[in-house]
Amino acid sequence: MKFPKGKKRYLIFAVLLVLIGIRAALPTLIQRYVNRKLDEVPEYSGRIGEIDLHLFRGAYQIEDVDILKTSGDVPVPFFSAQTVDLSVQWGALFEGALVGEIDFKSPKINFVKGPTEATTQVGVDKPWTDTVRELFPLKINRLSATNGEIHYRDFHASPKVDVMIDQVELTATNLTNSEDLSGTLVADLAMTGRVLQEAPANLDMKLDPYAEEPTFDLNLKMDTLSLTKLNELTRAYAGFDFEQGTLTVAAEMASSEGNFEGYVKPIFNEMKILKLESDAKEGPIHVVWEGLVGGLSKLLRNQPRETFATKIPLSGRYEDPRPDVLPTIGNVFRHAFVEAFEGDIEGTIDLEDASRKAEKEDSSPSENDGNFLGRLLHQSDEP
């Protein structure tokens, strides 16, 4: 069908007006859609600011995101971010895969401990991953975050607790688990941050994001942290302060088929515990506890290095974790009198360790050769 030149000009003009109208309405339509999907998450609701579209790069940005718990009394959002950018991952497109990426600017996550479920906030479960999928039609293959913060808070402790990791930089790649894109079925995650505004920390993880059971291998290292930075935490939960000293932490963990295996290695350097002023209601038990903590830490130090340390084994199944108390105590003696632990990652844990079912026999000191300290030191060598 042919149109007269005059009518064709009007038709083109009308089509342009329609396209401009659709473009102008899209941000509002997307904003309503995002708000509706966020409100569908059980026990949480969402508030967002403006939506910015970037059609040429196949992306849209959500500004001023707040995810709030609605079923209880928690004074901080579970999640907030200055912007969330969802876009096509063009590098993968050139490899023949249509996948997406998500970038968070200044994200903040608040995990909250409370005396009841209503005052507790964890919020990480399957509905969140389903919601992200519904907000963007493509599979997310890459995730990044800049200038992030992670908080552990307890508003009901005295004093109130806020353990923070700031300056978080995170990159996760190959989340679609695509061998075509990266040559491997393993996703990689790297994160750096600063603990309590002082100690650099980094985490490296390899994981299978589609495994039915948690499947990962991670290394974690935190460099020197002044122990006085922990006083808010120790005063609230243990009733003492640190007067001086530093802490470094190294950890490894692997998980497969419902099993996990690993360790945490805290090393305290030149630690000195400050006894808090006792009041009448604390009584003699509090004073004895302070003396015990301070005295044992001095007695069981590695004297040449002035360090108090141990290696805490972690093993078992998620539904039945096993506290390895005896090896932990044995490692305190080992560090003090046999061989000092170094504050580095040992490289002794991998997925094969997690795949083996942990089978450790429980036994009392009387069932052994009577050499209790020797048995502890022997058990501390076990992974």
What total of structural domains would you count in the chain?
2
Last residue of one domain, picked from the residues 195, 210, 225: 210
Is-contact 169 136, C-beta < 8 A?
no
Last residue of one domain, picked from the residues 210, 244, 275: 210
pTM of the model: 0.76
- If asked whether residues 83 and 106 sit together in one domain, one would say yes
Q: Helices 126-135 and 5-39 sit at what angle, rounded to 10 degrees?
A: 170
pLDDT for residue 13:
55
Residue by residue, pLDDT tens for the chain (383 residues) are 554 555 556 555 555 665 555 555 566 667 777 777 777 777 788 788 888 877 777 778 888 988 888 877 889 999 999 999 988 887 766 666 678 889 999 999 999 999 988 889 886 555 566 666 677 777 888 999 999 999 999 999 989 999 999 999 999 998 886 655 555 558 899 999 999 999 999 999 998 877 778 889 999 999 999 999 999 998 888 878 888 889 999 999 998 888 888 899 988 888 888 765 554 445 444 544 454 455 555 555 555 566 778 888 888 877 776 667 666 767 666 656 556 667 788 888 877 766 665 444 344 444 444 444 444 444 444 44
pLDDT for residue 113:
92
- If asked whether residues 194 and 221 sit together in one domain, one would say no
Vertex 130 angle, CA 170 and 63, to 5°: 55
Q: Can you tell me the distance from the alpha carbon of 66 to that of 119, in angstroms, rounded to the nearest whole number?
A: 18
- If asked whether residues 86 and 114 sit together in one domain, one would say yes
What region does 316 belong to: left with phi over 0, alpha with psi -120 to 50, or beta?
Answer: left
- If asked whether residues 178 and 322 sit together in one domain, one would say no
From first CA to last CA, the distance across the chain in angstroms is 80
- If asked whether residues 175 and 290 sit together in one domain, one would say no
Parallel/antiparallel/unpaired status of strands 108-112 and 140-154: parallel
- If asked whether residues 17 and 80 sit together in one domain, one would say yes
- If asked whether residues 249 and 365 sit together in one domain, one would say yes
Last residue of one domain, picked from the residues 210, 233, 253: 210
Half-sphere exposure of 22 (CA within 13 A, CB side): 6
- If asked whether residues 285 and 350 sit together in one domain, one would say yes
- If asked whether residues 80 and 149 sit together in one domain, one would say yes
- If asked whether residues 317 and 379 sit together in one domain, one would say yes
Domain that holds residue 155: 1-210
- If asked whether residues 195 and 304 sit together in one domain, one would say no
pLDDT for residue 208:
85
Tokens 């859609």, residue located: 33
- If asked whether residues 152 and 278 sit together in one domain, one would say no
pLDDT for residue 312:
86
